[in-house]
């Protein structure tokens, strides 16, 4: 059980971070319509990152929070606003090119400037996530169901590794490239935890979900256990081990009760 002082500090970090997200959403209203971007989503994003880094400052969490929110925006545009693959291609191109002037690229530019990554990892993970989102859209557009293996190989569309890379780069963590295999395995776990919790919503919203690909909930849970074991081995006992382990622990608890998205 988390002690009261730590719980209070984490809650304070989340409260301050949620206010920042509310302000950024207000500054980019075209990106964040009140439905489904409600206060609960801002608070849930802030809580997840605060519990992931309970010893951080609000400033040290800012990139992780803002990028998480930006990912929700691009996911909304691709999964629920785009009707043709050409529209998705345009979104991907404008984000990667960085020269187009749009609400999406404006907010991304703010985040990119604060990350100030000189290694190229931020841009590489941005591209990997966007191409994974495009791939899933193409599957749905063709009426093609991937195998569970292919679906998990495309888990970069979840975006947690992208957030991790940005968070680590902004806060001066060394050896980020070496952390990617563990982060990617955690990302697969989070993908499946999310899918178990959101199957009903995904069906009604037309999203893809692991439970649509053949496995039963019990089989997905067994797969989560296997992936979690793999992740623990990859995480090891390095300085970011607690951070990555907390992502699994927090998400396994959160998704048993709630979801991030508000009502459409």
pLDDT of residue 206: 84
Q: What is the DSSP string of the chain?
A: ---HHHHHHHHHHHHHHHHHHHHHHHHSTTT--TTT--HHHHHHHHHHHHHHSTTS-HHHHHHHHHHHHHHHHHHHIIIII--SHHHHHHHHHHHHH--S-SHHHHHHHHHHHHH--SSSHHHHHHHHHHHHHHHHHHHHHHT-PPPHHHHHHTGGGG-HHHHHHHHHHHTT-S-HHHHHHHHHHHHHHHHHHHHHHHHHHHHHHT---GGGSS--HHHHHHHHHHHHHHHHHHHTTSTTHHHHHHHHHHHHHHTTT--S----
pLDDT of residue 158: 98
Query: Quick check: pTM over 0.85?
Result: yes
> Crossing angle for the helix pair 121-142 and 160-170, nearest 10 degrees?
170
pLDDT of residue 136: 97
pLDDT of residue 98: 77
Tens of pLDDT, residue by residue, the chain (264 residues)? 568 999 999 999 999 999 999 999 999 999 999 989 999 999 999 999 999 999 999 999 999 999 999 999 999 999 999 999 999 999 999 999 977 689 999 999 999 999 999 999 999 999 999 999 999 999 999 999 999 999 999 999 999 999 999 999 999 999 999 999 999 999 999 999 999 999 988 888 888 999 999 999 999 999 999 999 999 999 999 999 999 999 999 999 998 788 787 555
CATH H superfamily, domain 4-254: Farnesyl Diphosphate Synthase (1.10.600.10)
């Amino acid at each position: 059980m988390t002690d009261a002082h730590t719980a209070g500090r984490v809650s304070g970090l989340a409260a301050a971070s949620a206010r920042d997200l509310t302000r950024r959403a207000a500054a980019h209203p075209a990106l964040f319509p009140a439905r489904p971007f409600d206060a609960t989503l801002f608070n849930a994003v802030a809580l997840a990152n605060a519990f992931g880094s309970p010893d951080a400052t609000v400033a040290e969490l800012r990139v992780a929070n803002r990028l998480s929110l930006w990912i929700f925006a691009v996911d909304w545009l691709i999964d629920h606003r785009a009707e043709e693959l050409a529209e998705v291609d345009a979104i991907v191109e404008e984000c990667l090119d960085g020269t187009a002037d749009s609400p999406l690229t404006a907010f991304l530019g703010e985040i990119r400037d604060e990350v100030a990554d000189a290694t190229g990892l931020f841009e590489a993970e941005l591209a990997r996530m966007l191409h994974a989102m495009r791939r899933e859209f193409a599957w749905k557009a063709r009426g093609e169901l991937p195998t569970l293996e292919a679906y998990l190989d495309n888990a970069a569309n979840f975006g947690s590794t992208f957030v991790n890379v940005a968070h680590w780069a902004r806060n001066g963590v060394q050896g980020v490239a070496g952390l990617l295999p563990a982060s990617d395995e955690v990302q697969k776990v989070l993908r499946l935890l999310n899918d178990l919790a959101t199957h009903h919503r995904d069906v009604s919203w037309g999203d893809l979900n692991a439970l649509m690909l053949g496995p039963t909930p019990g089989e997905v849970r067994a797969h989560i256990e296997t992936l979690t074991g793999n992740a623990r081995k990859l995480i090891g006992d390095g300085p970011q081990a607690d951070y990555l382990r907390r992502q699994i622990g927090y998400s396994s608890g959160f998704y048993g009760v709630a979801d991030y998205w508000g009502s459409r």
